[in-house]
C-alpha cells in the first residue's frame, strides 16, 4: 500500500461520509479513465470517435470526464465504435 492509499484509508476511518462516497466516486472516475485510455489506444481522437458515434466532440469529452451517469447502451456503442467489446462483471 502506498502513501496515497494509506491516506485514503485513514480519511475513511475518521470520516464516515467520505468513506461512504469515496468508492463510488472512484469507480465512476475509473470508468472515464478506462474509456479515454481505450480511445487513445485505438488511435482515435475525440473528433474521430465523435464522428463515428454521430455526436459532438464535447459529448465524448463529457463521457470520459463525467462518467457518473453513463447509460449501458452508450458504453456499448462507445466500445463498438473502437472495435472493442463491452464486458460487464458483477462482483
- How confident is the prediction for the chain on average, in pLDDT? 91
Per mean pLDDT, which range of 7-11, 39-43, 50-54, 76-80 is the poorest?
7-11
How far is CA 65 from each of CA 36, 60, 79, rounded to the nearest angstrom? 9, 9, 16
Give the CATH number of domain 3-81; options: 2.60.40.10, 1.10.260.40, 1.10.10.10, 3.40.50.720: 1.10.260.40
CB 79 within 8 A of CB 53: no
Which pTM value belongs to this model?
Answer: 0.75
CB 46 within 8 A of CB 11: no
What integer pLDDT is reported at residue 56 of this predicted model?
96
Amino acid at each position: 500500500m502506498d502513501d496515497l492509499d494509506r491516506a485514503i484509508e485513514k480519511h475513511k476511518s475518521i470520516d464516515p461520509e467520505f468513506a461512504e462516497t469515496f468508492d463510488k466516486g472512484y469507480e465512476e472516475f475509473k470508468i472515464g479513465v478506462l474509456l479515454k485510455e481505450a480511445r487513445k489506444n485505438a488511435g482515435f481522437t475525440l473528433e474521430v470517435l465523435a464522428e463515428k458515434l454521430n455526436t459532438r466532440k464535447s459529448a465524448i469529452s463529457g463521457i470520459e470526464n463525467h462518467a457518473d451517469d453513463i447509460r449501458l447502451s452508450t458504453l456499448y456503442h462507445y466500445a463498438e465504435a473502437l472495435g472493442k467489446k463491452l464486458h460487464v462483471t458483477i462482483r
